Structure 1
Amino acid sequence: MEAVMRVTDTIKSFRETRLAALRPPTEFFDYQRISRPSDFNQATQRITYNTRYFSGNYVLIIALLAVYALISNPLLLIALGFLVGGFIAINKFGPEPMQMGEHTITQKHLYTALFVIGLPLLFIASPVMTFFWLVGASGVLILGHASFIEPGVESDTYDIP
């Protein structure tokens, strides 16, 4: 029960910190502020400002891309579900040793079986490729958006050439 409370508190604090920084879609997708940066210095200044200003929106983009990556890779979803479900089931139903015929099955045996089945399944599901796809796709989207959107008039730290 305490773990559920920790998860709930974590979600509440995430919602208060990150999601409170969400900018409205009209501001995030303001096509009138799109322009090509004149040089690398200007692009760097825009990226620095916009990544702070739109940080909540960018976190939401990364979360949506992560959900898409999991949905589009069903084997990874099955492998993660198997491993997480196995850990939960072993902790809930298998803390005491069980006697099956002549053999005693302990929690250590159950974890070993979970790893023997789950880790090769996870390896086949290629989580490293999915992680690098997520990093690359979110990097291209975020850096592209941040470099092409001009900061608004509220930015006093941004130098206009």
Structure 2
Amino acid sequence: MFCKCAARASRALRPTHPRCGVLTLPALSDTVSASGTSWSHWTYKRESSNSAWSSKVPQIPTWEPVAENQLPPPTRVSPDLVDKLERLALVDFGSKEGVDCLEKAIRFADQLHVINTDGVEPMDSVLEDRELYLRDDTITEGECAEELLQLAKHTVEEYFVAPPGKKLN
């Protein structure tokens, strides 16, 4: 999904608000517990410029509008591609508005073609300057295939049977 304000900002091809659509994670000390496992969520805190900590992530947004003449020609989505996307993504683009929205999203993403990445090393993580802890990779449960198969609505031999999806042409 993309930012709705980006779709209507075709003149400058940028969101009207720099933080549009960005979700905030809980603070570092907050944890989420799922099935007995505790996970810490990391958030980015803006550090002062004189801090010894330096990050490759900019302290402020570095957004510059891209001129229309720098972008590749607008992408037109063919009806065949719409049909294929509807089958694969199980999303209905049946209306002209849906196709227009998809084309505007592609146009917004076309700005990535203009970015000069010469000499920029790929990042493993946006938090690559911090040590991120993982839990131990130990098996805590197992040998429950029969129990799990009993939960399925349909099975054949020792396999789940999924309901049929959309028919492919």
Normalising by structure 1, report the TM-score: 0.27
Higher RCO (Cα < 8 Å, 6 or more apart): 1
Report the structure, 1 or 2, having the larger helix content.
Answer: 1
Normalising by structure 2, report the TM-score: 0.26
